[in-house]
Amino acid sequence: MTCVIERRQFLASPIALAGGLAASRPNVLVVLADDLGWRDTGFQGGDIPTPNIDRIAHEGVRFTRFYCTPLCTPTRASLMTGRSPMRYGLVYSVVRPWSHYGLPADEHVMAQTFQAAGYQTAIIGKWHLGHAHKSHLPNRRGFDHFYGHLNAEIDYYTHTEYGGLDWQRNGAGVREEGYTTDLLANEAVRWLGNRDRGRPFFLYLAFNAVHAPLQAPAQLVEKYAGIPNKSRRLYAAMLDSMDSAIGKVLSLLDRDQISRDTLVLFLSDNGGAPGSGAVNLPLRAGKLTVYEGGIRVAAAMRWPGHIPVRGEVGQVMAALDVFPTLAAASGLTPGNSKPLDGRNMWAAISKGDRFERENLFFAAKRNETDERYFAVRSGPWKLVQQLSADGPRVDQLFQLDEDPYEKEDLAARNRDLVMKLGAELDAWRTLHPKCDIQSSMAPHPGWAPPADYAQVAVDYEVRR
């Protein structure tokens, strides 16, 4: 695939880091939005003001072909490990409150590489990679500091999931008032303010906004009173709040005069959910599908002096690439022992180099019908498959360079290509471990939520 970068005001200045650290060691800030629509930021042409998110794109580059998985847990796993979640059984669904599994303890996490290199590391926000065993928790996965929640769609004000408190700081439940988006921003500013200025930091700021439930401060809902659709109105208010929160963090970088020393990556974990007010147009469909609206996400990166200003990167990239790319940009070697599925794309971002991308694979599952959906992007081609237990396989083939909105199905005219790509999907599916791939959408009648999710994780490493 081609990589198009528009270079304007590109400054190639060295980094000046405190404490005599090597100039190749920037601070790293990864900001993850939850369920953000493709066209819902200003830099993507949206009609909801997002000046702070837009600033990242305008002072750096926007990615036009950046892919994630179509739902939360698999993307977060990809992001953290650089490996396909198909390999460790986290591809088809999310970790639910009653789930006992999580990201396997033998999977190396990006934060561990940064921590080993002397970085201060923190996750502030949503984890969603396991909560039942202590080995799954962020503080055991390379993060010095964790503040936020372990599950998915907690209440923005009570900070509960199914009635149980899911809000903690480093393993201890925290009961406090406040809207989660504001609290996460305040914690990020606090943690950054108290950091060791002699060492770089790696901060993973993972908002639960704009994921359901649709809740927002009254004054922001009133600000968008002119939007007739209630879901869209609440969604706009939630996005507005998240943008302000990101602005607080960017302002701190400015005040501490470390903006030029900090690489900032912004992205969404999957496409938006149209039923919750998100807009993915002109892309097809949205969250929980393998069409472009479900897997192609808004993303931007800023690192003044090291990547272009107001650039556009057309290289096909994915969440799988984040770990090796950020490590390379920071002068680090990933510490994983298992082979990565992602690749280092730093040269595509910083120099405009072009790469032929290896195939990218996607999966989604509808629990209520047991239908499974798969896709593979191979060069300009994309095969979409629908599999069901009691029906024939349905194939669709799209030529994305000519038809990015997936309007014309070319499968009937390209049967050989359909068979070839279908065989590659079949091979990818075999990577799944020999374990249950079902994940119930509802808890067993005997399951009861804990009073505090921070208190229920067991230490199976001790019990074995």
**Spatial distance between the Cα atoms of 283 and 404, rounded to a whole number of angstroms:** 7
Out of 3, 68, 72, 211, the active site residue is 72
* pLDDT recorded at residue 22: 42
68 belongs to the catalytic site: no
Selecting among 128, 131, 133, 159, the annotated active-site residue is 128
- Reported as a pLDDT band with limits 50, 70 and 90, residue 17 is very low
- Cα separation, 147 vs 150, in Å, equals 10
Please state, for a pLDDT cut of 70, what percent of the chain lies above it: 93
Whether 72 is catalytic is: yes
Residue 340 carries which DSSP code? P
Q: Is 170 exposed, middle or buried (0-12, 13-18, 19+ CB in 10 A)?
A: middle
Handedness of CA 129, 132, 133, 138 (dihedral sign): positive
Phi-psi region of 261 (alpha: psi -120 to 50; beta: other; left: phi over 0): alpha
Question: What domains lie within the chain, and their CATH numbers?
Answer: 25-350 (3.40.720.10), 360-429 (3.30.1120.10)
Closest C-alpha to 231, from 219, 246, 218, 213: 213
Residue 254's SS3 state is helix
Residue 340: which residues within 8 A CB-CB, separation 6 or more? 82, 83, 320, 323, 324, 334
In this predicted model, what pLDDT tens digit does every residue of 179-222 receive, in sequence order?
999 999 999 999 999 999 999 999 999 999 999 999 999 999 99
What span, in angstroms and rounded, lies between the C-alpha atoms of 419 and 427? 12
pLDDT tens by residue, 107-155 = 999 999 999 999 999 999 999 999 999 999 999 999 999 999 999 999 9
Q: What is the mean pLDDT of the chain?
A: 93
Specify the pLDDT at position 390.
80
Contact criterion met (CB below 8 Å) for 185 and 11: no
Q: With the C-alpha atoms ordered 420, 90, 289, 373, is the resulting torsion angle positive or negative?
A: positive
Residue 225's pLDDT is: 98
Higher-scoring residue by pLDDT: 201, 19: 201
CA 267 vs. chain centroid, Å, equals: 6
Q: Beta strands of 45-113 (E only): which ranges?
A: 61-63, 66-67
Query: What are the tens digits of pLDDT across the range 341-372?
Result: 999 999 999 999 999 999 999 999 877 677 89
